[in-house]
Structure formats: C-alpha cells, structure tokens
Structure 1
Amino acid sequence: MPARYKGSAREVRALDTFVKLTRATETLGARLQRHLASLEITPPQLAVLEALLHVGPMSQSELGRKLLRSNPNMTALLDNLERSKWIQRERSPEDRRVVVVSLTPEGRRVIERVFPAHAAHVTALMGALSAEEQETLGELCKKLGLSLSEG
C-alpha cells in the first residue's frame, strides 16, 4: 500500500514502516505459535508461567498489567492454568481483596522444561539481525510502545 500511496513523504514513510512492522510481527507470532504448540503450551500460558518464574508470585492485577491483558481475559487464562494445576491463587493475608498468583511445583516443571526450548527458538528467529540491530530494534519498539501507552 505505501508504495502506491501518493500522500506526503511523512505519510508514505509511516505507512511503509507500519506495514513492515505488522508483517514481521505477524510472521514472528505465527512461528512462535507453531513452535509452542509443539511444546503443548500457548503463548499466553507461556507468558504467565515465564513471568511467575522470573519475577515470582504477584497479584492477579499486577500480572494482568505486566502482560497487558484485560481483567476478564486474565481471569479466564488463570482459571485454565489453575485447572491444569500449573498455578495457584490465594488471597493475600495483608489485603483480602488481593489475589496472589504463584507457580505450583507442576507449573514450575512445565516452564523449566519449555523455557529453554523457547529461548533457543527466539534466539534463532532473531538471528537474522546482528546483536547491534537487535539492541536498536528493542530500543525502537520500547520507544514506540511507551509513546502509544501514554495516549
């Protein structure tokens, strides 16, 4: 679309960049989805288990903010993880309104089995970029994400 669009140079550049970013994101997402399916875990499940492994127990609302998930979506995801016995939820003794989410021993086994394969897969996918390019891309994505979250 941007190559045929006859708007201003600024618009053409923005649209071209947007299309490239969107295509790369969709391709990476599809590759990740297939890889994780082979490991019998979904991307949202991986995100929750990974956060709990690396950060530790946290409130359900904090976990939702960290993973950018709405409260109803987070509740459904955690319900499924709890049924699988990968996480547990408990009321905070300090504030009974707060629900704390943590890994179960089974959840820890799952993420410790899956995460090394996930890390290797992501490393291979990102191998098309040099270390410097990965740093630059990471900084640019963070800058864009922060600017969008402010509005």
Structure 2
Amino acid sequence: MTSFLQYMWAYETIKARIFSMLNKYGLTASQFGVLDALFHLGSRSQRDLGTHILKSGGNITMVIDNLEKAGLVRRERSVEDRRFIYVHLTDKGKKLFVEILPLHLKAVEDEMSALTSREMEELGRLCVKLGSKKGGDRK
C-alpha cells in the first residue's frame, strides 16, 4: 500500500519540476497562478484572487506586491467600496504570461507523459473527486 508520504513526495517532486522554469523569469508558482487567473478571467479583486489560487489574505498581498513591483500587475481601489482592491494585468504582465504559458503547458505535458491515456483519465477523475470533496464530509 502506498503511504501518505509517498503521495506527498510525488506531488512535491512533480510540482518542483513543472514550476522550475518559472525561476528563470523571476516568478513563483503563486505569482504564475495570479497571472494565469488575470489572463483567463480578467481583473479580479485581491480577495477573489487569493481564493482562486488558495492563498491567505496576507500571502496574496505579498504575491501581488511583488508582481506590482515587477510591473506585471497594477492595483486599483474600488470607487464604490474602498475596502476592495482590484488587480489588473499590465501589458508587460500579459506579454510575459503569453511567453511562459506554452513552456508551462509543455512541462505539464512532459510530466504527464509517464501515464497512459487510461491512467490520465483515472487521474483526472480522482482529482475531480478529491477537489470537490467538502471539508467536513469525511467518511
């Protein structure tokens, strides 16, 4: 039987290999996640971005601070409700994301090539099952 540590080792190893290319661009996996969300979903509130990439309020603030310093995103306080800060992808951020995305997709494809089509389908099914599980719904 496979242990929890083996699952975590596999996850961390694959994640490190997939996201290692981001280091060349000075990005972390979280920063890439924000750029991805903004590129595909459009401008979002900082809070929504944190929820989308599974980061706490303090952590998403730091991630966006660093992206803003690099000129990849810009913040704008909501006129209607000043508590909300919206994050927008800059032209520089969009250009970088468009450059990196094919490299990222290739890295994911390379990692997944170890699996057969049937194993990929099963992995997809299991990931959806695990991802949709409710917090207190343990059996």
TM-score between both structures, scaled by the size of structure 1: 0.81
Pairing 1:1-151 to 2, within 5 Å after superposition:
13=1, 16-147=2-133, 149-151=134-136
CA distance in 2, matches of 1:141, 1:49: 23
Q: Which has the larger radius of gyration?
A: 1
Q: Is the 8 A contact 2:18 2:111 kept in 1?
A: no
The letter of the residue matching 1:50 is: D
What's the offset of the Cα at 1:40?
Answer: 3.4
Unaligned segments of structure 2, at least 5 residues: none
Contact 2:22/2:29, CA 8 A, preserved across alignment: yes
Residue deviations 1:24-78 (CA, integer Å, cap 9, x gap): 1011022124222234322111111011111111111111001000000000111
Is the alpha carbon distance of 1:95 and 1:135 closer, same or farther for their aligned partners in structure 2, counting shifts above 3 Å? farther
Ranges in structure 1 where 5+ consecutive residues have no aligned partner: 1-12
Aligned partner letter, 1:150: G
Whichever structure has more helix as a proportion of its residues is 1
Cα distance in structure 1, aligned partners of 2:56 and 2:3:
28
Q: Report the RMSD for the aligned CA atoms in angstroms.
A: 1.7
Shift of 1:145: 3.0
